Structure 1
């Protein structure tokens, strides 16, 4: 099984969080979270995070 890491900026400047992603990870939801975060859409971000939590639990 191939696994990948995704680098996410931390709240602390210059620091990163590494998220391990395996092939079963819902990358489409994660990519949507990144998009709505970049767009500064707090409502869509909250909904997308809730959807990701539901998928991985």
Structure 2
């Protein structure tokens, strides 16, 4: 039986493809994946926004 590692979307955090699609739902999903991978608290601290605002 062949096994493959689970898909890790965080491996593609530097990829600009989501923005190039122009699909707002896809872009929002990509931003969510990035935020979860980096950590919402860390992003909030760096941007000066609250976690709730993000």
TM-score in terms of structure 1 length = 0.45
- Which structure carries more strand by proportion? 1
Larger radius of gyration: 2
- Which structure carries more helix by proportion? 2
TM-score in terms of structure 2 length = 0.47
